[in-house]
Chain A
Amino acid sequence: MKARFKSLIYCLIIPFLLAWAPPVSAQSTALSITPPVVEILLSPNKKIIQAFTIKNQAESGQFVANLHAVMPIDSVGHVVVSPTPLDPTSTPLLLSLQNINLTFNTPFELRAGESQQLVLSIAGSNTDVPIDTYFALVVSTYSPTNTSLSSTVPGISALILITLTPDGNLPISLSLTDFNPPVIHDSFTPLALQPVLHNQTTTMLRPEGKLEVISPRGQTLVSLPLYPNLILGSSTRTITAQLGEPGSPNLRESPLTWSPSPFTLGPYRLRLTISTLGGTTISETERTVWLLPLRLLLFFLILLLSFLAIFLARRHQKSSRPTPT
Chain B
Amino acid sequence: MHRLFLFFLILYLFFSPVTLIFAETMESDSYRLRFGNFNMTSGTKTSASYNLTDTVGQTAAGLFTSLGYSVKAGFQYLYTLYDFSFSLSSLAIDFGPLTPDFFQTAFHTLTVSAPGQGYSVSALASSRLKNFATSDFIPATTCNSGTCTATTAGIWDDTSDYGFGYNLVGDDISGDFVDDTYFRPFADASLGDSPAVIMSTTAAGQNRSATITYQLNPSASQAAGNYSALITYIATPTY
Binding site for B on A (CB under 8 A): 26-34, 36-37, 55, 57-58, 70, 73, 76-81, 83, 136, 138, 140-141, 143, 145, 147-159, 161, 229-230, 232, 247-249, 253
Contacts and interface: CB of A to CB of B under 8 A. Distances in A.
Contacts of A32: 83-86, 113
A176 B116 CA distance: 25
Contacts of B132: 148
Interface in B64-111: 65, 70, 72, 76-77, 79-80, 83-95, 108, 110-111
Determine the main DSSP class of B at the interface with A.
strand
B93 A155 contact: no
B236 A136 contact: yes
Q: Which 10 A-B pairs have the closest CB atoms?
A: A30-B87, A32-B85, A26-B90, A36-B84, A36-B237, A32-B83, A154-B88, A77-B238, A247-B63, A150-B93
Given A36-B116, A159-B236, A161-B239, A141 B91 contact: yes
Contacts of A141: 91
Contact of B83 (A34, A152, A230): A34
A58 B194 CA distance: 29
A150 B237 contact: no
30 contacts: A26-B91, A27-B90, A28-B87, A30-B87, A31-B87, A32-B85, A32-B113, A36-B83, A58-B87, A76-B118, A76-B238, A77-B118, A78-B120, A79-B239, A81-B122, A83-B189, A149-B92, A149-B93, A150-B230, A151-B91, A152-B88, A152-B232, A153-B231, A154-B87, A154-B235, A157-B237, A247-B63, A247-B65, A249-B76, A249-B80
A57 B112 CA distance: 12
B178 to A, nearest CB: 21
A158 B86 CA distance: 12
Interface residues of B, number: 55
B236 A77 contact: no
Contacts of A77: 117-118, 202, 238-239
Contacts of B63: 247-248
Nearest to A248: B63
Nearest to B80: A249
Interface stretch (B11-19, B41-49, B142-150, B221-229): B221-229
A150 B84 contact: no
Contacts of B87: 28-31, 57-58, 154
A59 to B, nearest CB: 10
A73 B197 contact: yes
Given A28-B87, A37-B116, A156-B85, A150 B235 contact: no
